[in-house]
């Protein structure tokens, strides 16, 4: 994905939470990209940084969404605190 030009519209990427998985589980985005996670499961889930990090959603019930804008480069790993086998990664360039 090319860097955004000044004044360019913000980019939003959607991640679906379904069948106890984040889909896609790995994203590569540019700085300034907003990611929205939407829970399509009947079970509650979270989007929480692994280790230190800024991802810290409330408990997402079915139909709820959580949005975060990535303004710095790096690799951001996250899990569902309720179901720790669920994990994902956002790589920001």
pLDDT in tens, 42-71: 999 999 999 888 999 999 999 999 999 999
Domain spanning 12-92 has what CATH number? 2.60.40.420
- Record the tokens describing residue 50, joined without a space: 């692994």
Q: 74-79 and 87-92 as β-strands: parallel, antiparallel, unpaired?
A: antiparallel
Domain ranges of the chain: 12-92
Residue 1 has pLDDT above 80, yes or no: no
Which of 9 and 22 is assigned the larger pLDDT? 22
Residue 24: DSSP 8-state: S
């Amino acid at each position: 994905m090319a860097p955004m030009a000044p004044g360019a519209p913000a980019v939003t990427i959607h991640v679906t939470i379904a069948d106890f998985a984040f889909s896609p589980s790995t994203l590569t985005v540019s700085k300034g990209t907003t990611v929205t996670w939407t829970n399509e499961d009947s079970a509650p889930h979270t989007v929480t940084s692994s280790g230190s990090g800024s991802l810290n959603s409330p408990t997402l019930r079915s139909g709820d969404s959580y949005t975060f804008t990535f303004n710095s480069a790096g690799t951001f790993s996250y899990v569902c605190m309720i179901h720790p086998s669920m994990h994902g990664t956002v790589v920001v360039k």
